[in-house]
Structure 1
Amino acid sequence: MLLKRLLLIVFLFLIMPVLVRADHFEEYTNQVLQKMVADGFCKESDSISLKDIADLDSVLPGIQAGFIIVKTNEGRFSRSLVQFARQKIDANNATPMILLERFTTYREGEERTVLASSKNVALFSKFRFSFDLGQVVPSELGGDILFESDKGSPKISPLGKAKLFLVTKAHPDAKPMKKDNAVTVGPTFDMKYFNGTYQLNDDGRRTGKLILKVDELGEVLGSFYSDKDGQKYEVRGKAGAPPHAIQFIIKFPRIEQNFQGFLFTSDAKAIAGSSKLVDRDSAFYAIRVE
């Protein structure tokens, strides 16, 4: 029964188009943002204008947008890709706006855990935005930035204790997924083939970054970063019986999820198998990205 299930998993994995794309923006974690502010990879500004963004809209490879960092009134760090634009009113008129293409506000003291995030948020003149709440807010709630377009000069400015930074150059610690994720597999299976970073998909319900480190005795240590909120969870397990088999658990706050799988022996590019959460059995696959 288990063999049939695994064959089905592998079949689905092979016929399903899978795209793992390096996204430089996603690698700017909480720690990297703080380093950028401290090390001069961005400049603090009292306001950021259309011209400022136009001059620095290609800081991240493959992304045409301004990259800003906000230190919120609550002291958290947030990253955002922004573009100035105009919203059509009628055939002859349009109003200035700024588009927050993507933003992420991190929980303090965490590497990837997300407090608030969203995409394609439009701000019009006099709109205030709170990166802690992830929402447009009225003046009574303060907000972290204000968009203004008086006299045809659109700009964003920080509010209260918030600080606004315009990124001027990419940071070397923000390393995207490697394009070459090949592992050279020899005639004898080696435990080190398990080592690496995988994109985990558990039954289509949970996805995230799975990092595995397996020693010569087959002891598994690692981490799982949820795609949902960036939260980090401990991973422990055992590999090696048979050599290309692995068992591991992800320790969630009040429960543990068990995984059993097999590493592809031809190229070590994927793990496929089954998982169990309480009384629910399901399938998973993990594709190597590093």
Structure 2
Amino acid sequence: MANISSGHAVFAPVHPIGRRLGTTEYSCCPKVKGPHVTRDVLSIENLHVSYRGVKAVNNLSFEVPAGQMTCIIGPNGSGKSTTLKATLGLVEASHGKVRFFDQHVDAVRKRIGYVPQRSTTDWDFPINVFDTVLLGTYPNLKLFQRPGQLEREIARRALMRVHMEEFADRQISDLSGGQQQRVFIARALAQRADILMLDEPLMGIDATSEANIIEVLTELCDSGCTVVMVHHDLSTIEQYFDHIIMVNQHLIAQGPVSETLTATNLTATFGANLLGLPE
């Protein structure tokens, strides 16, 4: 289990009816520019991951388009979270190629924000909300540099963006699950990354926190960022996301939600017993 200040954690928004809310006056995540811009900001080729000889991910390949909200869905044990961690080097892949912005992850790690599952974090780590968010600025500091006035302002505005500024001095262990997740989103905003990778950020949180998180993430995409989220709620996919990746250890389907979220693909992903399939 990672503590809140660990490197894994540091790699470390909802409009009720949907999409494209416009940008705010403060963009935590600048548009992707320069020679490394590609249509697909993340590409995975033939990824294999095994645990104790059992394959968790088998020959998985997909691409993530720039500037969109992408979800990864699949049944329990399908390798969704493992795939996310393998792209970041948090679990070891036995085979495969992962490229962010057409480069190895180590070359662009500062451009990648990561929000882990709540269940993998030690919430008893003694740190308050503001300092947790301030950790997000560290990847952009020089060696031995301490956060200054600029970084503290970035952290303050990130907290405001998720409506958690009044809790700045509160111990993070004293917050509700939804509040804790909003703080982790704020920390990712403070990093000012070009792509955010989120592992089940909406799992088990209150409706207000979910609405706020989706609103913030949508606005980030409008400003040029890319969001990749492991997601579990099939009923909100069309409302929240542009692009979908459907997996069950290997790729089932990928593409725009409007074209890919079909009964055929859902059955192939989850099995024939899944109810309530769209036509």
Which structure: greater helix fraction? 2
* Bigger radius of gyration among the two: 1
Which of the two has greater strand per residue?
1
TM-score normalized with structure 2 length: 0.22
What TM-score do the two structures reach when normalised by structure 1? 0.22
Relative contact order: is structure 1 or structure 2 higher (C-alpha 8 Å, sep ≥ 6)?
A: 2
